[in-house]
Amino acid sequence: EWVGDGYAVLFSHPKDFTPVCTTELGMMAGMAEEFGKRNAKIIGISVDPVEDHQKWKSDIKSYTGNDVSYPMIGDPEMKVAKLYDMLPASEDRVDGRTAADNATVRTVFIIGPDKKVKMSMTYPMTTGRNFDEILRALDSIQLTAKHKVATPAGWTAGGDVIVTPAVSDDEAREKFGAFEQKLPYLRTTRQPG
């Protein structure tokens, strides 16, 4: 219900008050407007209680200068982490867990208006997430959901796209005006819209 008819970016954290995640939450707070322009809501999750999230927010603002105004799910019983396969379903130890125990809870999910996961990406503990890449992936997901195109490696908004194999040459000319046959199975055209 919270997502509505738009997209959601759910990004998870193994523990509150962890250094890499502190930088990530602040960066996402600074990028919230960009995600909003794409009808995408941001929501964080950590296996700690919401009360800890509230305390952590002041550290995040202190370090990054950005206020975390998007919601953060408290998942101290690891129900959501297990539901989304961030932790094994058999994991039942809640108390005394560390960030290392929760290492796989470092995933970003893009969820579509149909409430299905469109993309997931899991990062290691020591590597900060590239939210510009998440934004680029969201742009691609939204573009390809609207038009019969795919995006090539390294694509950025405004770049040429690939006409999907499901589109005939005649339909491609009708939809896109023109396309370039790069290989027998690879046709490119200007980004529609």
> Which DSSP string do the residues of 111-123 spell out, in sequence order?
E-TTS-EEEEEE-
The terminus-to-terminus CA distance of the chain in angstroms comes to 29
Of 175, 67, 83, nearest to 190 (Cα)?
175
For 181, phi and psi rounded to 5 degrees? -85, 105
Residues making up the chain, counted from first to last = 193
Query: How far apart, in whole angstroms, are the C-alpha atoms of residue 15 and residue 85?
Result: 17
Contact 146, 172 (CB under 8 A): no
Instruction: Single out the catalytic residue among 114, 132, 139, 170.
Output: 114
**67 is annotated as an active-site residue:** no
Place of tokens 């998007």: 70
For residue 144, give the H/E element and its range.
Answer: helix 131-146
Contact 64, 26 (CB under 8 A): yes
Residue 3 token pair: 């997502």
Amino acid 158 reads G
**114 is annotated as an active-site residue:** yes
Instruction: Single out the catalytic residue among 16, 21, 48, 75.
Output: 21
Catalytic positions, written as ranges: 21, 114
